[in-house]
Amino acid sequence: MTHAPSADDRFAPSAAFAAKAHVTADQYQAMYNASIQDPERFWAEHGKRIDWIKPFTKVKSTSFAPGKIDIKWFEDGTLNVSANCIDRHLETRGDQTAIIWEPDDPKDAAQHITYKELHRRTCRMANILETMGVRRGDRVVIYLPMIPEAAYAMLACARIGAVHSIVFAGFSPDALGTRINGCDAKVVITADHAPRGGRSTPLKSNTDAALLHCKDSVKCLVVRRTGGQTSWADGRDFDYNEMAMEADDYCAPAEMGAEDPLFILYTSGSTGQPKGVVHSSGGYLAYAAMTHQYTFDYHDGDIFWCTADVGWVTGHSYIVYGPLANGATTIMFEGVPTYPDAGRFWEVCQKHKVNQFYTAPTALRALMAHGNGPVEKYDLSSIKVLGTVGEPINPEAWNWYNDVIGKGKCPIVDTWWQTETGGHLLTPLPGAIATKPGSATLPFFGVLPVILDPQTGVEITTTAAEGVLCIKDSWPGQMRTVYGDHERFEKTYFSDYKNYYFTGDGCRRDEDGYYWITGRVDDVINVSGHRMGTAEVESALVAHADVAEAAVVGYPHAIKGQGIYAYVTLMNGVEPSEDLRKDLVKWVRSEIGPIASPDLIQWAPGLPKTRSGKIMRRILRKIAENDHTTLGDISTLADPSVVDHLIEHRMNKV
């Protein structure tokens, strides 16, 4: 058995990489210091990376003070987000590909959509929405597969000043209906069917079911994706493909205020009921564009691929808004990593000569379980930077990414951020910051992370520290409010620790000032008085050769207060046994120490995850506590049958 990779390994960018990078180590320090010492001046400069119709004169007006939570950036400037993502590129790169669309089935042809074509399509969609009665400030729900029309729809809303709220196409009619009503949407845009992983979801009939619980005035625009059968309600349903043939090729971009909302998006629902996050137009776009360029070291002509769905914030910021604002070529992938086989990601990387590849730890762990065979068939030499987001990445997965995918040559950017933050807050810049497997390293420009003592709320000022992660001051991409509920905004993010933005995550800062996310604050385990994050124990388990994935929670324990309950998914082909169970306990003891050794290990063929692939520990905790009659909000759960299996086989039969 190999020894677990050490989390203290360091990987510095090569001199060759650094020489071409936008930001080097020295520049990072200088720019970071400038951004903290004089944020007004720094952001006045970087706010100019987007085009303003009326330039801003005010840069930052933000307050985290109790009762006065108010966040405004560039507030007197005006702009149009879609013009920034399309029109301003037409002269210089009208014939360049803006979007490469890769369909679910690899046998179907990919599409290359130029900036000119994107302009035409977006304008037509905008005109259709106007015909349907959508006006500035109205809300539009988008419930589409990963097809180019999803990007056209987002940009069309931005063009006319409507606010979009995307609902992931895997969500149920109930979840869709709640979100349509939640923002009082005028229109919902959907497709007939959504092919994904060789299966098909009937989006239109889901929408029909959802609309039964919505106001009669809500209209529905239907994109033909498969041509499959759907029912039709005359007067309510509109045929996109037909209307697009008639619609005008030009729609003037509306002049919007920097603080006008661009979109509403719900958080993933890992820790409870999803929050309807509202993002601004100006600050959000500037921040998404800037982080896209620097974090991925994006250069003109590069092919950028973020594998997320546009239903998540990652898709908003790093498939659509950030890349397009930068005039990039961005890939939209309709499929899943394991269809038709576990080589799909790498096949697409080879086919489109991807330069920056950005995915989630959950996908990497799933692919690792299939071994290196599916990777070795493909030429990945175009890749320059690898990225990860969504959960702490276990050092084992990090090393696999580095060795097997990056061949030891591609910096890995472990980007920590949230729906609420709009863009990356903690992340290495690939030409500037040496990485350590499992650490999101250092703050992005303008970001002031602090670690507070969870009990007293006092800031820990020593370099090495552990506690809850808060942010001390605002950045342009920060959410502005919870839709329709500013009180909930204040209560969720600014009330536990006054005058700080509370992230909900636990964090450790090491001797080098590097940040390590230890897991959700709600998930912290307290064993005999020792507080422990879930990430470390899970990473130790995943480092074992037989383990594909692990999730750890606390459960009531008569002597220790809390015991450690581990759910373990084994590698493909490995059989569970009592010997293996003992071996895993021994392994964790030797990796971390006796305090972290699991009391109970349950074999889990699957773990409960959100649709964006995050482990829902709150459900696992309920099962471990034998309290599974009240699982809370499970509307964002990907596969409920996983939960039934775990309940049936739970270990703690008290």
Binding residues for Mg(2+): 542, 544, 547
* Piece of the chain touching ligand ATP by CB under 6 A; list 109-117, 261-269, 547-555, 559-567: 261-269
Minimum distance from residue 415 beta carbon to ligand ATP (Å): 5
Distance CA 161, CA 479 (A): 18
Please report whether residue 267 would count as binding ligand ATP according to CB under 6 A. Answer: yes
Question: DSSP of 292-312, one letter per residue?
Answer: HHHHTT--TT-EEEE-S-TTS
Three-state DSSP class for residue 160: helix
Q: How big is the site for Mg ion, counted in residues (CB under 5 A)?
A: 1
Q: Which residues are annotated as a binding site?
A: 196-199, 314, 390-392, 414-419, 505, 520, 528, 531, 542, 544, 547, 589
Q: Which residues are annotated as a binding site for ATP?
A: 390-392, 414-419, 505, 520, 531
- Binder of ligand ATP out of 263, 416, 500, 515 (CB under 6 A): 416
How many angstroms separate the first and last alpha carbons of the chain? 35
Please report whether residue 517 would count as binding ligand ATP according to CB under 6 A. Answer: yes
- Binder of ligand ATP out of 131, 338, 382, 418 (CB under 6 A): 418
* Piece of the chain touching Mg ion by CB under 5 A; list 11-19, 209-217, 265-273, 546-554: 265-273
Helix (H) or strand (E) holding 195, with range, is strand 194-196
Tokens 């692919």 -> residue = 367
Helix (H) or strand (E) holding 454, with range, is none
Minimum distance from residue 504 beta carbon to Mg ion (Å): 5
Minimum distance from residue 610 beta carbon to ligand ATP (Å): 6
Minimum distance from residue 522 beta carbon to ligand ATP (Å): 9
**Is the Cβ of residue 272 or residue 576 nearer to ligand ATP in the bound state?**
272
**Is the Cβ of residue 161 or residue 438 nearer to ligand ATP in the bound state?**
438
Instruction: Indicate which of Mg ion, ligand ATP, none lies near residue 439 (CB less than 5 to 8 Å, by partner kind).
Output: none
**Is the Cβ of residue 80 or residue 267 nearer to Mg ion in the bound state?**
267
Minimum distance from residue 503 beta carbon to ligand ATP (Å): 6
In contact, 404 and 397? CB cutoff 8 Å: no
Alpha-carbon dihedral 338, 342, 346, 351, rounded to 10 degrees: -70
Please report whether residue 433 would count as binding ligand ATP according to CB under 6 A. Answer: no
**Is the Cβ of residue 389 or residue 646 nearer to ligand ATP in the bound state?**
389
- Binder of ligand ATP out of 35, 394, 415, 441 (CB under 6 A): 415
Minimum distance from residue 564 beta carbon to ligand ATP (Å): 20
**Is the Cβ of residue 267 or residue 330 nearer to Mg ion in the bound state?**
267
**Is the Cβ of residue 265 or residue 525 nearer to Mg ion in the bound state?**
265
**Is the Cβ of residue 474 or residue 503 nearer to ligand ATP in the bound state?**
503
Pairing of strands 78-79, 256-257: antiparallel
Helix (H) or strand (E) holding 496, with range, is none
Minimum distance from residue 273 beta carbon to ligand ATP (Å): 7
Please report whether residue 282 would count as binding ligand ATP according to CB under 6 A. Answer: no
Q: Based on the number of CB atoms within 10 Å of its own CB, is 351 exposed (0-12), middle (13-18) or buried (19 or more)? A: middle
x/- map, 267-286, Mg ion, by CB under 5 A: x-------------------
Three-state DSSP class for residue 378: coil
Tokens 């776009």 -> residue = 285
* Piece of the chain touching ligand ATP by CB under 6 A; list 5-13, 28-36, 264-272, 401-409: 264-272
Distance CA 417, CA 267 (A): 12
Q: Is 353 left (phi over 0), alpha (psi -120 to 50) or beta?
A: left
* Piece of the chain touching ligand ATP by CB under 6 A; list 99-107, 202-210, 397-405, 412-420: 412-420
Buried b or exposed e, range 140-155, using 16+ CB within 10 angstroms: bbbbbbbbbbbbbbbb
Minimum distance from residue 390 beta carbon to ligand ATP (Å): 5
Question: Greatest CA span in the chain, whole angstroms?
Answer: 73
Instruction: Indicate which of ligand ATP, Mg ion, none lies near residue 389 (CB less than 5 to 8 Å, by partner kind).
Output: ligand ATP
Please report whether residue 391 would count as binding ligand ATP according to CB under 6 A. Answer: yes
Q: Which residues are annotated as a binding site for CoA?
A: 196-199, 314, 528, 589
Distance CA 535, CA 532 (A): 9
Report H helices in 336-400: 344-352, 361-368, 373-376, 395-400
Instruction: Indicate which of Mg ion, ligand ATP, none lies near residue 200 (CB less than 5 to 8 Å, by partner kind).
Output: none
Distance CA 63, CA 336 (A): 42
Minimum distance from residue 103 beta carbon to ligand ATP (Å): 26
Instruction: Indicate which of Mg ion, ligand ATP, none lies near residue 394 (CB less than 5 to 8 Å, by partner kind).
Output: none
**Is the Cβ of residue 183 or residue 570 nearer to ligand ATP in the bound state?**
183
In contact, 454 and 468? CB cutoff 8 Å: yes
Question: DSSP of 119-157, one letter per residue?
Answer: HHHHHHHHHHHHHTT--TT-EEEEE--SSHHHHHHHHHH
Please report whether residue 614 would count as binding ligand ATP according to CB under 6 A. Answer: yes
In contact, 290 and 352? CB cutoff 8 Å: no
The distance from CA 28 to its chain's CA centroid, rounded to whole angstroms, is 24
Instruction: Indicate which of ligand ATP, Mg ion, none lies near residue 47 (CB less than 5 to 8 Å, by partner kind).
Output: none
The two structure tokens encoding residue 358: 């950005």
* Piece of the chain touching Mg ion by CB under 5 A; list 146-154, 236-244, 262-270, 571-579: 262-270
Distance CA 189, CA 140 (A): 7
- Binder of ligand ATP out of 440, 604, 619, 642 (CB under 6 A): 440
Closest CA to 156 of 259, 240, 237, 100: 240
Write out the binding residues for ligand ATP, residues 483-512 only, by CB under 6 A: 503-505
Measured at the CA of 108, the angle between CA 105 and CA 114, to 5 degrees, comes to 115
x/- map, 341-380, ligand ATP, by CB under 6 A: ----------------------------------------
Residue 167, number of CB atoms within 10 A of its CB: 26
* Piece of the chain touching Mg ion by CB under 5 A; list 142-150, 266-274, 281-289, 510-518: 266-274
Three-state DSSP class for residue 349: helix
Helix and strand numbers (H, E) in the chain are 22, 30
**Is the Cβ of residue 98 or residue 154 nearer to ligand ATP in the bound state?**
154
Instruction: Indicate which of ligand ATP, Mg ion, none lies near residue 280 (CB less than 5 to 8 Å, by partner kind).
Output: none
Three-state DSSP class for residue 222: strand
* Piece of the chain touching ligand ATP by CB under 6 A; list 414-422, 566-574, 576-584, 646-654: 414-422
| CB neighbour list of residue 586: distance below 8 Å, 6 or more residues apart | none
Please report whether residue 546 would count as binding ligand ATP according to CB under 6 A. Answer: no
Minimum distance from residue 388 beta carbon to ligand ATP (Å): 6
Site residues, ligand ATP (CB under 6 A): 267-272, 274, 389-392, 414-419, 440, 503-505, 517, 520, 612, 614
Site residues, Mg ion (CB under 5 A): 267
